[in-house]
Amino acid sequence: MTVYLVGAGPGDPGLLTVRGAELLARCDVVVHDRLAGSAILDMAPESAERVNVGKAPGDAPVSQEDINAVLIERGLAGHEVVRLKGGDPFVFARGGEEAQALAGAGVPFEVVPGISSALAAPAAAGVPLTMRHEVFSFTVVTGHQSPGSASPVDWRAIAKVGGTIVVLMAAARIGGIADELMEGGLAPDTPVTAVTWATTDRQEVVRTTLVEVGAAGVKAPATFVIGSTAGIDINQLPQ
Ligand code: SAH
């Protein structure tokens, strides 16, 4: 009995790790979120139980306690359980909480990293995150905030760090975030590339600037890449 916290990657089944694919192919139970693509779920045996703990926008979310309870219960029953998570399990995915709950209940678990959309979405749009001699860092930030509360993120400080800024979970708030980044010193014409459904057949790329991104109408699930390299498209470089 083991619960595997498996990163599914950004969407394209080819970007699931070999280890993740092996575990999926022999599991008894798959516990997955809304963003898990059907091609990846199809890698599990037909006989495997599939538990969808994702929420459609607007639906009541399945609480983290309930998800933990499903993992613990299936694990203690002696099953091989794959807890499939979009991207990487430890990047804005509550993998840490699930690991703690499993450890507390005495259920063996293993973490299998995945390719985060923070890395895959820029690559899919042809945007390098760093550039030798020019861009020395990238910062990955969540744009999510609890309704009614102030952002826990100091966007003005992030504007001053330099390098590329990658923002997840921000489609609904990107205009306000862009304002704060400009207040922190980023130029209004700083390039922004937004990638929705990266690496899937629904992928859309919007190339814009910090001052205009709020009006661009980018829909979730989107990754925003902000900084000088967001103006590059390596697929369009002169040969
Ligand atoms: N653990 C995931 C992130 C979960 S938070 C990871 O490492 O990728 C969910 C957010 O991830 C979405 O709001 C969006 O910002 C981003 N995301 C997930 N899949 C994506 C995709 N295919 N294309 C673009 N962004 C994606």
Rg (CA), the chain: 19
Average pLDDT for residues 166-193, to the nearest whole number? Answer: 97
Q: What angle do CA 6, 104, 7 make, to 5 degrees?
A: 10
The whole-chain average pLDDT of the chain stands at 94
Among 15-19, 59-63, 78-82, whose mean pLDDT is lowest? 59-63
How many residues are present in the chain? 239
Nearest to 94 by CA among 197, 219, 7, 1: 7
Banded pLDDT at 35 (limits 50, 70, 90): confident
| pLDDT attached to residue 31 | 97
Residue 32, strand partner residues: 52
| Alpha carbon 87 to its chain's center | 5
Residue of the CA atom closest to atom 5 of ligand 1: 92
Among 19-33, 75-89, 137-151, 215-229, whose mean pLDDT is lowest? 137-151
Average pLDDT for residues 50-78, to the nearest whole number? Answer: 88
Question: What is the number of alpha carbons within 13 Å of residue 22 lying toward its C-beta?
Answer: 4
Give the nearest ligand 1 atom to 90 CA: 1
Banded pLDDT at 56 (limits 50, 70, 90): low
Choose one of 168, 203, 206 to mutate for the ligand 1 pocket test, by most ligand atoms within 8 angstroms of C-beta.
168
| pLDDT attached to residue 33 | 87
Give the list of residues 6+ apart from residue 226 with CB closer than 8 angstroms, or none. Answer: 164, 165, 166, 167, 181, 186, 190, 191, 192, 210
Residue 111, strand partner residues: 5
Average pLDDT for residues 68-97, to the nearest whole number? Answer: 96
Tokens of 31: 């516990």
Please give the domain boundaries of the chain with CATH numbers for all domains: 2-112 (3.40.1010.10), 117-236 (3.30.950.10)
What are phi and psi for residue 59, nearest 5 degrees? -75, 155
Banded pLDDT at 146 (limits 50, 70, 90): confident
Torsion of CA 96, 137, 128, 169, to 10 degrees: 40
Q: How far apart are CA 239 and CA 237, in angstroms?
A: 6
Average pLDDT for residues 135-140, to the nearest whole number? Answer: 97
Ligand 1 contacts CB of residue 12 (under 6 A): no
Average pLDDT for residues 73-93, to the nearest whole number? Answer: 96
Q: Model pTM?
A: 0.95
